[in-house]
Structure 1
Amino acid sequence: MRKVIIIRFRGGLGNQIFQYALYKQLSCSGKEVKADLTFYVNNVDMNRCFQLPNMGLKVKTANIKEIEKFYGAESGYMNIILRKIGLKRHYLREKPYKIVRDIFKYDNIYLDGYWQSEYYFQNIKKKLFEEINWNIKSRRVMYYVNLIKNSISVSIHIRRGDYLNNSIYNNICTVDYYKNAIQYMKKVVEGITFYIFSDDIEWTKKTFCGIEYVFIEGSDNNNCFEDLYLMSLCQYNIIANSSFSWWAAYLNININKIVIAPDKWVNIRNIEGLWCEDWIRLKG
């Protein structure tokens, strides 16, 4: 039986890039890897669409028959039966925020997770950066590109929306977190302009006042890759507890960049491998 690794893609753009990074790492090791995109085909979450092609990132898509071969493999009982008839298959569901350190030993497995750590792609970081080719055509974006490139720029990502009523994310990226991060940046960098990205721009306009703030408007779920691109162009980054702004900071190629992140990501303990070593972590 032909061996193949299938990675389930799900979630928003930030999660998709993490999943792609693992996909790329496994592919570069000589294994056959395919993507399960049924999350988007079946419209599991109407607010999410598959956006990697807008970054020039391509995957081989698994067909239904290939995916169905792993049905039942998640069950320990079914796995015993499959092994007895010579059909050894694995199904690995990631435990939240725990690194799976033996993930690279498999060559016939279905991988279901977010894989939010540089651990999963640290060996192909350069290749990943080289592959990205932004499909940017919008006049809106080019207007902001010009502003960012002609200023000392700091991106601020503020995620509200679905985070407001979810206790796992509450009281982490508070107003105090952002104000402390802003004050930190002002102390170490002079003459900066803050570019605010948010799913609730009207709220941010009421909360952050001053000529040093520029509010990025006109984005939605279908063109969020444009905001990721703009954030990555900023010289410095203040991120939310979001994989979206995680990648904006990570893709920032400024060698002198400063990245400020919340010291908590979610309201659970023992998170492994999520923050980069040189990022500054502040309390909310």
Structure 2
Amino acid sequence: MKIVKFLGGLGNQMFQYAFYLFLKQHFKQVKADITGFAGYSLHNGFELEDVFGIRLQQAGPFAIRLYTPERRDWATRKLRRLYGTKNAWYPEEKEFTYDPLIAVDKHPRYYWGYWQHYDYIKDIEPQLRKNFQFRERLKGENSKLLNEVSGLETVSLHVRRVITWVIPCWELFANRITTGKPLPAWSRSCRTPSLSFSPMTSPGAKSPCH
């Protein structure tokens, strides 16, 4: 059996769900561990079900006990040997990379990580697009914003925590789009994981920021 640990905010959960589906393509028994959200004070807890109506096959407490390394009592260690889960713990070694061995690894595994790489997603993209749809129609300001951007060439700027970069980087990219002037060398500092710029264009169109 394979168990995927779910943690973090909605974005991370979406990547972990993609990885969960990736594993299901290769193995019969794949389950989720969402127990870490009990008493979780960051973000909004486990959101996949509330936002998208996604329900996961969850691992039970006995399996989690055998697949994770926390319990070190004599009985648990003996059970791990009996069930072959002594080395089940499989943390992501390096973020934003693809591990090709995962798809052919037949051993029991407990996967801890974020698994953010296109190769985990590419074969299940249609299913993800279908499943990642809001359960409820947008209302209020969200609905108004959707109407404003629909049918336009829309630019999305995602800013995460590093507020000091917001104004200079936004002005920089806005100027690039409107004038076509090349980006200065220092703009490379805007392309960190804390600040991403995502032009949304029609299929096949080349982004003005490339």
2:100 maps to a residue whose letter is: R
TM-score, length basis structure 1: 0.56
Corresponding residue number in structure 2 for 1:9? 6
Question: Normalized per residue, which structure has more helix?
Answer: 2
Which letter does structure 2 place at the counterpart of 1:102?
L
- Out of 162, 176, 183, the position equivalent to 2:168 is 176
How far has the Cα of 1:239 moved from its partner?
8.4
Amino acid in the other structure paired with 1:61: Q
Question: What displacement does 1:9 show?
Answer: 0.4
Paired amino acid for 1:139:
G
Gaps of 5+ in 2: 181-189
Amino acid at match of 1:99: Y
Match of 1:94 among 76, 92, 95: 92
Residue aligning to 2:104 = 105
Where do 1:5-154 residues align within 5 Å?
5-40=2-37, 42-53=38-49, 54-72=51-69, 85-89=81-85, 90-97=88-95, 98-107=97-106, 108-137=108-137, 138-154=139-155
Q: Secondary structure of the residue that 2:157 maps to in structure 1?
A: strand
One-letter amino acid of the structure 2 residue matched with residue 23 of structure 1: Y
User: Cα 1:140–1:187, aligned 2, differ >3 Å: closer, same or farther?
Assistant: same
Runs of 5+ consecutive residues of structure 1 not aligned to the other structure: 165-170, 189-237, 261-279
**Cα distance in structure 2, aligned partners of 1:132 and 1:257:** 25
SS state at 1:121 partner: helix
Deviation at 1:176, TM superposition (A): 3.5
Structure 1 SS opposite 2:100: coil
Q: Sequence identity, in percent?
A: 24
Give CA-to-partner distance per residue, 1:213-239, whole Å, 9 cap, x none.
xxxxxxxxxxxxxxxxxxxxxxxxx98
What CA deviation, in whole Å up to 9, does each residue of 1:159-213 have, x standing for no partner?
22xx56xxxxxx8x5643332222222246xxxxxxxxxxxxxxxxxxxxxxxxx
Query: What do you get for the CA RMSD once the two structures are aligned?
Result: 3.5
